[in-house]
Amino acid sequence: MKSYKIILLASLFIASLASNKLFAQTDAKQLSAVIEGEVKTKLVLTPADVDKLPKTTITQKDQTEKEHTYTGAELGLVLKNAGVTLAEELKGENLTKYLLVEASDGYQVLFSLPEVDPAFSSRKIILANRKDGALLSADEGPFHIIIEGEKRKPRNARQVISIKVKFAN
């Protein structure tokens, strides 16, 4: 009987460790975003990775008209680091590429590739990882797309976990 209790306790302990590891992996996945598809290098970005890139800020009002300052990296620069065709390479069939941005809740928004390329547009679009100086909260992060000068804000996707570069067919 004593050996059964030891086996039971050991099994519970091992199950607890496995469960904690699973939760840690889930949390780690939620704290990153992947850039994939028509890229030279698939990137998995964390907020710390974005902190290492040149900073861009955009100040915007939220739904309650409260002003916030979002900080991150220009989306074009992030895409360039993944080897996405931009600038001089963005011609011909490459002009038919688009970005599908996906959030953790299933929300999706679409951008044409020239729209986010600084060589084509002076409008800033950033992959923000900070709001008012602090990392984004769980209900907004790990990343938030912020678009300068957009009159309506539905494409300012929050909880961004994936950016897929694709060809329109």
pLDDT tens-digit readout, 156-165: 999 999 999 9
Mark out the alpha helices in 60-152 (DSSP H runs): 75-81, 113-116
Tokens of 7: 């086996």
CA pair distance 147, 153, nearest whole angstrom: 8
- The amino acid occupying position 91 is K
Q: Which long-range contacts (CB under 8 A, 24 or more apart) does 145-151 make?
A: 145/75, 145/101, 145/109, 146/58, 146/60, 146/70, 146/72, 147/58, 147/123, 148/58, 148/123, 148/124, 149/123
pLDDT tens sequence across 47-97: 999 999 999 999 999 888 899 999 999 999 999 999 999 988 888 899 999
pLDDT tens sequence across 95-143: 999 999 999 999 999 999 999 999 998 999 999 999 999 999 999 999 9
Residues 31 and 47: beta-carbon distance below 8 Å? yes
* The dihedral sign for the CA sequence 69, 56, 129, 87: positive
Residue 93 CA, distance from chain mean position = 26
Tell whether omega for the bond before 54 is within 30 degrees of 0, i.e. cis.
no
**The pTM is what?**
0.80
With tokens 């030891």, the residue in question is 6
With tokens 């809740």, the residue in question is 105
